[in-house]
Structure 1
Amino acid sequence: MSIAVRALSKRYGRKWAVRELTFEVQPGRVTGFLGPNGAGKSTTMRAIVGLDRPTSGEALIGGRRYAALPAPLQEVGTLLDAKAAHRSRRAVDHLRTVAATHGIRRRRVDEVIALAGLESAATRRAGTFSLGMSQRLGIAVALLGDPHTLILDEPVNGLDPEGVAWMRGLLSQLAAEGRTVFLSSHLLSELALVAEHVVVIGRGALIADAPLAALTAREERVRVRTERLPELMRLLSGPGVTTSSGGPDVAEVTGVPVDQIAQRAAAAGIVLLELAPVHRTLEEAYTELTGSAVEYRAGSADGSAS
């Protein structure tokens, strides 16, 4: 089931949290949802699962509003608040309660406890959990109904490195099974390892909706390392070619493809110690896209905004 957001707008008083937002999340891949603080990500996710009523527009899951789904938890798994479980309730009892109210077999509780790595903490009260353990419990709840669609708000927040690696593998597996996986995250380097498609918003409006590869594509830039760097740079010079030095024997070249650099170096008998394309990171692409859409900026040490 795909998620379709169509001309979605949400206003709180005089402030528009989201305005005329349109995009679609397809099954079979992980879609990242990015934007600066205050961009409207949480509002959008809440509108998709019926927690916020849009001022106008709509958000549909499999062509229906969330409230119209006959068995929501068995069709859509959500994690919007890692601390949603009652503090005094044991983790296993929280899961059993959710399962009982949604007609989910009790055996499934044991399965998601094992899947989320909660076996040793299942009888502990949720109020004693760290943020990372609360995230695992929230993921267990989201997976309880074995849903086709997952909507997760900052699911790796608070997880230790092992937990982050576990989450990465889990998300990839779920997408490979043909499920729809939609998640927000501020850990861009981590998201870049798992997401195939990215939706970026700023100030409540759409900025980008594209494959990750398209967002990080750039004019080809190549890193070269050779002991005869000045000679190679002279061979590569020409219209549209730019170079930047990274040291006495290292440079980055733009405007000449990798194969042409190799051919010219070979013809001149220049030994290349390194020859590799340089790709733009998701963080670089994100910063370029959202530079004018950041609503809250930190102050510098001298008191100016940065």
Structure 2
Amino acid sequence: MAKAGTIRVGIGGWSFAPWRDSFYPPKWPQKRELEYAASKLTAIEVNGTFYSGFKPATFAGWAESVPDGFVFALKASRYCTTRKILAEAGDSIERFVGQGIVELGDKLGPILWQFAGTKKFDPDDMRAFLALLPARHAGVALRHAVHVRHDSFAVPEFIAMARAAGVAIVFADSTDYPAIADVTADFMYARLEAGIEEHATGYDAAALDRWADAARAWSEGGAPPGLPYVEETPPAKKARDTFVFFISGAKVRAPHGAMALIERVAR
């Protein structure tokens, strides 16, 4: 293996009032919050795309506000994932992908398809849904990650299905939902959701050291020990881009956790 994949670390969104007292400099203009966040982090997961659509000019504006190498992960529309029959999501998927996300260019990271915690694994329906996810749009390659949150997905059939589709299974360190750490794509997507406000960085130093080790292992094509795997045999080892987001738990601490992790993986 010539080199490791790129590790990018970030948070969910950039507009959050408590960050104006704890992350952004005093009196920092709200219209420049993305610019500042992107100067300290290397990725952002956009939650707003789950709730509504945006114009192409908005995506282009985001791209212009961040430095080279920064990427946005976009949470796909709820109309795609919060439905009883996923196989019927084709039109919604086309609308989401076609709204102008390719205006992000090389700053377009993975698309996150997040399912409700009550959504159970239906093999035929999930296979049909994965087949609807386009590999490219308007000449731009797309990467897809599915965030399943019901323990019925922790079966070899789902792992094989995701791997065959080249779709990543999101690993989430969560106090509320089960986790699957199996690597199924040419990139890894992790969400650190169990931070607590008692720690200035959400996670304590020892935990941050462990997640830095895990991120390096993922980027080098490995499978970090101690995580919940469905399959005992890891996939072929190859460099993988790795995305790690501090999100949900102790949100006010998320930027500081992300910056602390960025510092660790750079050592």
TM interval, short-chain normalised: 0.3 to 0.5
TM-score, normalisation: structure 1: 0.31
Between structures 1 and 2, the one with greater strand share: 1
TM-score, normalisation: structure 2: 0.34
Larger Rg: 1
